[in-house]
Amino acid sequence: MGASVAYFLARRGIAVTVVERSGVACAASGKSGGFLALDWCDGTPLGPLARASFALHAELAKQLEVDYGYRRMDTFMLAARERGTLAGGHRVAAPRWLDGAGVVTSALGTNETTAQVTPARFTAALLDGARARGARLRIGIVEGVVQRDGAAVGVTVEGETLEGDAVVLAMGPWTSRAVGRLALPSVYGLKGYSVTLAGADVPAHALFVDYRTADGRALEPEIFPRPDGEVYVCGMADPAPLPDSPDAVEVSEVSCETLARAAGRVSTVLAGARVVRRQACYRPVTDDGLPLIGRVPGVGNAYVATGHGPWGILNAPATGLALAELISDGASASADLRSFDPARLPAAPVG
């Protein structure tokens, strides 16, 4: 979110400093699936934002002039078991490479409605696009928002004040921790695991799997082959509490092995692939499942953009554009932000 807001502000000629504590895309925005869907948020307040973002992703892939793995995909739903096979065979026409114990139960999306990016490279491309227009990146820990006469005038970074005409809080699941007494709703972190596989040359087909482990657990692994030849597999929610820093996020080898095994059950090519990376990250979530995009209640010139849950990569472009408009023009012309107004939820207790 920070990279996207910075990019759209910089495109408007506004001088931006991005403060990042660890490294660009070190958390969910570097470790997520990067799956994009045009219409999967339809019927919810996120529907219009998601549709606008899906279109913006296609535009950005041309404008940024960097290959960050954007491509359209076909998307399928499967059922599979860690042990045994399901009766009945595929229920719709299934791609040939899905030759394992899984059953393809439906087609969920086509080249018109589903796509992907490689999130770490997408985030870096946005930030590089901002830097090419004068934005600066500062590695440091934001410790609080500096206020004067009821308005934000900067942030404290490791004891030093960094001044600005506006402050945007986009620290993902850590946002609540760094804001001190600001009246912001709670943002939590929901942990998930992922692995990347190498050595499997498979088509641009995204897979959502209804999976049962041998000991009876119901999981929903998601499998996204990427254009660089890697296959990304994620799933396995874990109630583990959010650590203070992204660098301290622990990876469970057992959970990662379960994910790799699930991929191997749907395709013999994936069963033979090598696990390259095992990782974990926390998606930022709010009490009502909708993001916080807009003004921080009670403080002038302070804004927030986070809490996008499972759709933060999809919705980053429209969020960044809308917030850049809100900051520079006083209102967003491209999106109706009322459903995402932080003032709709009670402020988190000061802890």
Quick check: 52 binds ligand FAD (CB under 6 A)? no
Among 103, 209, 299, 313, binds ligand FAD (CB under 6 A): 313
Q: How far apart are the first and last CA of the chain?
A: 25
What residues between 253 and 312 interact with ligand FAD by CB under 6 A? Answer: 281, 283-284, 306, 308-312
Compute how many residues bind ligand FAD; rule: CB under 6 A.
37
CA–CA dist 157, 150 (Å, integer): 20
Judged by beta carbon, residue 200 or residue 313, the one nearer ligand FAD is 313
Shortest spacing between CB 239 and ligand FAD, in angstroms? 14
Shortest spacing between CB 83 and ligand FAD, in angstroms? 25
Among 10, 20, 266, 337, binds ligand FAD (CB under 6 A): 20
Enter the tokens of residue 13.
Answer: 């000629």
CA–CA dist 126, 60 (Å, integer): 9
Q: From residue 195 to residue 234, what is the string marking binding to ligand FAD with x (rule CB under 6 A)?
A: ---------------------------------------x
Shortest spacing between CB 248 and ligand FAD, in angstroms? 11
Q: Would you call 224 helix, strand, or coil by DSSP?
A: strand
Quick check: 28 binds ligand FAD (CB under 6 A)? yes
Shortest spacing between CB 247 and ligand FAD, in angstroms? 8
Question: Measured at the alpha carbon of residue 214, what is the angle toward residues 211 and 215, in degrees to the nearest 5?
Answer: 105
Crossing angle for the helix pair 2-11 and 119-132, to the nearest 10 degrees: 30
CA–CA dist 253, 195 (Å, integer): 10
Quick check: 33 binds ligand FAD (CB under 6 A)? yes
CA–CA dist 65, 191 (Å, integer): 33
Quick check: 22 binds ligand FAD (CB under 6 A)? yes
Contacts of 68 (CB under 8 A, 6+ apart): 61, 117, 118, 121, 122, 124, 125
CA–CA dist 221, 207 (Å, integer): 8
Among 6, 8, 9, 21, binds ligand FAD (CB under 6 A): 21
Judged by beta carbon, residue 100 or residue 235, the one nearer ligand FAD is 235
Tally of CB atoms within 10 A around 5:
27
Find out whether 230 and 208 touch, Cβ atoms under 8 Å: no
Tally of CB atoms within 10 A around 88:
9
Among 5, 10, 14, 19, binds ligand FAD (CB under 6 A): 19
Shortest spacing between CB 21 and ligand FAD, in angstroms? 4
Q: Which residue, 330, 332, 329, is CA-closest to 13?
A: 329
User: Residue type for 146, please?
Assistant: V
Task: Choose the stretch contacting ligand FAD; rule: CB under 6 A; options: 18-26, 144-152, 270-278, 340-348.
Answer: 18-26
Comparing every residue's Cβ against ligand FAD, the nearest one is: 312
Phi then psi for residue 212, to 5 deg, are -120, 130
Judged by beta carbon, residue 102 or residue 192, the one nearer ligand FAD is 192
Find out whether 313 and 126 touch, Cβ atoms under 8 Å: no
Q: From residue 138 to residue 177, what is the string marking binding to ligand FAD with x (rule CB under 6 A)?
A: ---xx---------------------------xxxxx---
Residues in contact with ligand FAD by CB under 6 A are 1-2, 19-22, 26-29, 32-35, 141-142, 170-174, 178, 192, 194, 234, 246, 281, 283-284, 306, 308-314
